[in-house]
Structure 1
């Protein structure tokens, strides 16, 4: 499998030397993820967290029709202004049509990471099965990508406005091990627990590495869920009220598919008086930290 990706010098060197690398999606760092200047702050926090824990960050994106794994500072500036999402299904189209800037989602980043030989990826929260999917069929491509690429995806669970029970059922059907990092409950992004038990708790990064190594299917990935730090959690009662209103609004406005996530996140930001932004920054940085620890453990045990 190849996407003819351009590797940055530091990422190429780290991979050649067998050192730890953590892939990072670019959607979260674009205008589609967080408003400026929070998106730039998130980028620096995540990169520094990875570096501080002994790994090399590799932000993915489409630039001038070429997939990139690892970006220069000038390329990062272009990504911060990005407004066009690239999912895994869009990678070939973006290359064929020579897209100027395409910011990668979870599915595209998992695919690019696998192609580049990177086994650990950090994001905020994954997509999943949408509420009402029994009528709309709306299921995020993130789940299929995680199920079909041997990459450890580190996240704060799935977006809280999704159908979380069905998301977990989908992952079970697809054969994806779902792990809870030092936690017994599946997190729901802004809240530490969705009320759903995580299938398997892990307390050590080496165990996470072994789960990937001993996978039953050669192409299946692993989902490592990390709850948001306690001090940044938004109370469930507050976030649920906002989510209900936002989802009702999307239904009335006919907003569907990829447009749902940025719309709902924007509503959450406004109706929590901006509390969601520091929460986003905290969970993204925390996930990058855990991902770097796992990546370092993976390379050290492989040596």
Structure 2
């Protein structure tokens, strides 16, 4: 296995010195934002993690290897290449064997982070149960991964293009803790709150770290969702964004968009219909999650 994983110099030094590390996904670079904002955001997010006392480890598949930590040149390649594969659990073996370039989703990033011994991962929003899943069975692999892989995911809730209620039901069935960070409501990505209550709230990262350590010390498998709302000044108005999402869903159905192409299509359509304001919100929530993720990694490392 070690022959399939490589570490950047910065990440290797952090491991050697027992420093806190935060994993970062790469589909947010290749499929979540347009170039050059994607690469610029990736670099800013990495610096935010450094500024808050941890070391960033952006994860991707390149040259038949799992890369834990990317160079500036590799970030640029990932953000500007037209044929980057979107990699989930089912795709890891294929991408490594064929030595194609791949960007890791939440699920694949969790797997790679756990292999590297990294416990905290910051992203935008998790995947979940898609609207209409009772007939399409379209459920993100992120949820099953959260049930089995021991990594905490700091996110702005589930992407608001999803069925948030069913997503929470799925996570409850699988025994995945969903912890509201300074909130009692499940965040809805572009907005601070959905209609759904959370069963546990933590108002500081030290409490979050203790909860995670207790869970894993008990031998309970799986990860946890740290639901961190988008900052109020960058949140979008709920009725406005929900109307936009409904319109995007109709267009996706009319165009026969399905499977793993659904999320990139919907996010792109939402950006178009909001005239770019959703992209600004997306960038700001990722930055906020990186800050909280770094502080959590520091607190967990101290335990």
Query: What residue in structure 2 maps to residue 97 of structure 1?
Result: 98
Unaligned runs of 5+ in 2: none
Residues 117-266 of structure 1 correspond to what in structure 2 (within 5 A)? 117-215=117-215, 217-266=219-268
SS state at 1:214 partner: helix
Deviations 1:208-253 (A, max 9, x none): 1122122255321111011001011110111011111110111121
Q: TM-score, normalised by structure 1?
A: 0.96
| Runs of 4+ residues deviating >4 angstroms | none
- How far did 1:2 drift? 6.3
Partner of 2:58: 59
Indicate conservation of the 8 Å contact 1:3/1:115, yes or no: no
The CA deviation at 1:111 is: 0.4
Instruction: Confirm or deny: 8 A CA contact 2:156 2:228 kept in the other structure.
Output: yes
CA distance in structure 1 between the partners assigned to 2:128 and 2:200 by the alignment: 19
- In structure 1, how many angstroms separate the alpha carbons of the residues matched to 2:16 and 2:140? 33
What is the alpha-carbon distance in structure 1 between the residues aligned to residue 59 and residue 183 of structure 2?
29
User: Tell me, what secondary structure is at the counterpart of 2:175?
Assistant: coil
How far apart are residue 144 of structure 1 and its match? 1.0
Deviation at 1:4, TM superposition (A): 2.4
In the other structure, the counterpart of 1:11 is 11
CA distance in 1, matches of 2:134, 2:290: 34
* 1:182-202 Cα distance to aligned partner (Å, 9 max, x none): 011101100001111122111
**TM-score when normalising by structure 2:** 0.96
When structure 1 is superposed on structure 2, of 132-141 and 286-295 the one drifting more is 132-141
Aligned to 2:32: 33
Match of 2:85 in 1: 84
- Verify: 1:110 aligned to 2:107, yes or no: no
Deviation digits for residues 23-75 of structure 1 (CA, Å, limit 9, x no counterpart): 00011112x11011210221022101100000000000001121100011111
1:2 and 1:259 map into 2 onto residues whose CA distance is 32
| Residue 81 of structure 1: how far off its partner (Å) | 2.1
